[in-house]
Structures are given as C-alpha cells and as structure tokens.
Amino acid sequence: MSNLTPMGFNDLLAGNARYASGFQWAGTPGVAARGVAVITCMDSRLDPLAMLDLTVGDAKILRTPGGRVTPEVVTGLVVGVHLLGVDRILVIAHTRCAMASGDDAQIADAIAAADGTRVHGMAIGASTDQAAALDFDVSLLRADPLVSAEIGGFMYDVDTGILTQVH
Ligand SMILES: [Zn+2]
C-alpha cells in the first residue's frame, strides 16, 4: 500500500467528543467486575460486550485474527486471572471468519492478490479446520497452570447473534 490518501482522524475525534460529553464511567475499577475474559476475533461484526449483555468495567477483551490464542493472549490471561479478577474465560470463534477461509499460505495469497503485498511466512494462525483450532486453543489454556480459571470454547453466529458453547 503506497498510494494511501491520508484521511486524518477528525471524524473519530469528533465522535469521541460526543462520547465523552455523556461519559458515565468515571472511577470504574480496572478489575473485571463480572470476572470475565473474552478472547475473540478482530472481526468488525463482533461486539463482545454487547453479545454477552455486558458493559464497561465487566470484562477483559483480547482480540486476535481468528480469535486465536497467541502468547500475548496467554500473557493477558495470566495478568487477568492473578491481578484483575478474571475467573471465567470464553474463547469465541465465529461463523464466516476470514481466518477460517484458508490456511496461512492461502491468506497470504489473498493479500498478495488484493494489493500485491507479500507476507508469506508470517504466522497468521489461519485454519480451515476452525473446530480443531478452537479445540486446540481451549486445550492449551486448560493445560496451563498459570491460567487457573473456568475455560469454555464457543461459536458465535454473525448472522443470528447466537452464541453456542462447544467446549
Ligand atoms: Zn474472524
């Protein structure tokens, strides 16, 4: 991407001004009030707090491509469990996820086809076997003695809003 036209951030700062004008969360503690941590995808169709009927202050949210459990996610969960009140962890995959449309090489191919950028070899965490990836990530967390919390694996349907526990 070499021909980007800068848009600036003024529209977003204006949005923040509207948000801050009605701000109601002053003094909210940093400990997760509902004891919840959510690991899910970066997908723009997912609103993790809203899908669980949670609000500001309730949960720690960790997002990655595909909602995969990366070393940084584990770090966040260790801090969350031992310092920030987390005792339940939801790993949430979702339907029509781009990271389930191919393996890492195929996603790199798609990026190359989209704008010519080559990222082959980058660890993306993509997998066409989404169920296996979720099962592996849940197993990984359950086997980690530092992540001492109740851990569940879930699938979210982006076309119905329904969350289903699968692990
Ligand atoms: Zn996704």
Using the predicted structure, report yes or no on whether residue 22 has a pLDDT greater than 70.
yes
Q: What are phi and psi of 153, to 5 degrees?
A: -110, 135
Domain boundaries, the chain: 28-165
23 C-alpha to ligand 1 centroid (Å)? 30
Q: Rounded to whole angstroms, how far apart are CA atoms 152 and 139?
A: 10
Count Cβ atoms within 10 A of the Cβ of residue 68 and give its class: 0-12 exposed, 13-18 middle, 19 or more buried.
Answer: buried
So what's the pLDDT on residue 4?
77
Which H helix or E strand runs over 70? none
Binding site for Zn(2+): what residues are annotated? 41, 43, 94, 97
Average pLDDT for 24-39: 98
Instruction: Specify the pLDDT at position 116.
Output: 97
- Each residue's pLDDT tens digit, 60-77: 999 999 999 999 999 999
Q: Is the pLDDT of residue 124 over 60?
A: yes
Class at the top of the CATH hierarchy for domain 28-165: alpha beta
Q: 89: helix, coil or strand?
A: strand
Residue 159 pLDDT? 98
Look at residue 5 in the predicted model and tell me its pLDDT. Answer: 86
- What is the CA 24 to chain-centroid distance, rounded? 25
State yes or no: pLDDT of 3 exceeds 70: no
Q: What is the mean pLDDT of residues 34-46?
A: 98
Helices (H) and strands (E) in the chain, counts: 5, 5
Average confidence (pLDDT) over 96-105: 96
Residue 162 CA, ligand 1 centroid: distance in Å: 15
Q: Which residues contact 22 (CB under 8 A, 6 or more apart)?
A: none
Beta bridge partners of 92: 40, 154
Ligand 1 centre from 41 Cα, in Å? 5
